[in-house]
Amino acid sequence: MITRLSLSDFRSYTDAVIAPGAGLVVLTGENGAGKTNVIEAVSLLSPGRGLRGASLAEMARQGGGGGFAVAARLGEAEIGTGALAAVPERRQVRINGAAASATSLAEWLSVLWLTPAMDRLFQEGAGGRRRFLDRLVLALEPGHAVHSARYEAAMRARNKLLAEAGAADDAWLAALEARMAEHGAEIVRARREAVAALSERLAAAPEGPFARPLLALEGGEEPLAAALPVGRARDAAAGRTLAGPHRTDLKVRHAAKDQPASLASTGEQKALLLSIVLAHADLVAERAERRPILLLDEVAAHLDPRRRAALFERLDAGGGQVWMTGTEPSLFEGAAGTRLRVADGRVLAA
């Protein structure tokens, strides 16, 4: 767990130091006070662009020096990330004082989140569900970040080469396609195994107040070693690669109603997401021997009192560190843990 979190020129904070305890960490305050900024900072301590998917320049405090820093203590280890004012769009990562890659953060911390923006996850395009899926996979296999990054880099290079009329180099294209096939196969394998393990755990879970989801993968699993060479002309015309794991979708169904999650009510969709996240946290604790840190933004406001009580009980029983935000302290009655109040760019003990 995080025992100390420090922010410098990050979003609405000039500087802040937070010492959360184990278990639940509840941040309350008015809308716009900066609660989500705190948990966004935590989300940056893992690979990727955090829970908002923002650029580094957006994260730097307006009126600040142009850079920012987020650092955390995990037991005896220190990890941190940020950007320098001189190169505001180049992410910097340090682990125990030494420079490191962003993908290496997955070896130290697993972070998963639910935000209000994800309430439409089942209505919108496959991209959001795919990112959600990869966050689940990453917590089980830290190497997934490396395979994903190398696959994307090879695909971008291939797309660029195909777009340059008359510049296509068959040998270079073949090398890029071989790299995509290699890393793409690992991405497909890791996703399949994660979904299978998660489905098994969900099926074995006792009936409770949260809807039971059924998970399946759709598309993007064709063997690329054969598909990419024959698809060059098609991909060049389309301006993008039309085969590969970057086109996979995570399909979710409401088990009890036997219907797609997209047809469920807003409350049922939130419950389906919570079921997935809670089962995944248990799976990671079993497989990786560490629980992921959960970031639940405004989650209590969308649940009725019975489901809120069940959620707090489940989180408390599961252990691990869970950061939650809300406007009203009354939403978290019955939830034990660290209580913090956010106001005027400060984080104070509630």
Rounded Cα distance between 347 and 350, Å, is 9
Domains and CATH numbers, the chain: 123-264 (1.20.1050.90)
DSSP state of 212: P
Amino acid identity, position 155: M
Are 181 and 221 in contact, with CB atoms under 8 Å apart? no
Amino acid identity, position 159: N
- From first to last of its 350 residues, what are the pLDDT tens digits of the chain? 999 999 999 999 999 999 998 899 999 999 999 999 999 999 999 999 999 999 999 999 998 888 999 999 998 999 999 999 989 889 999 999 999 999 999 889 889 999 998 988 999 999 999 999 999 999 899 899 999 999 999 999 999 999 986 666 889 999 999 999 999 999 999 999 999 999 999 998 877 788 899 999 999 999 999 999 999 999 999 999 999 999 999 999 999 999 999 999 888 898 899 999 999 999 999 988 788 999 999 988 878 888 888 899 989 888 889 999 999 999 998 888 899 999 988 999 87
Rounded Cα distance between 307 and 296, Å, is 14
The order of strands in the sheet holding 259-260 is 213-218, 249-254, 259-260
pTM across the whole model: 0.87
Name the strand (E) or helix (H) holding 46. none
Rounded Cα distance between 214 and 76, Å, is 40
Which sign, positive or negative, has the C-alpha torsion 225, 227, 233, 238?
A: negative
DSSP string, 230-259: HTHHHHHHHTS--SSGGG-EEEEEETTTTE
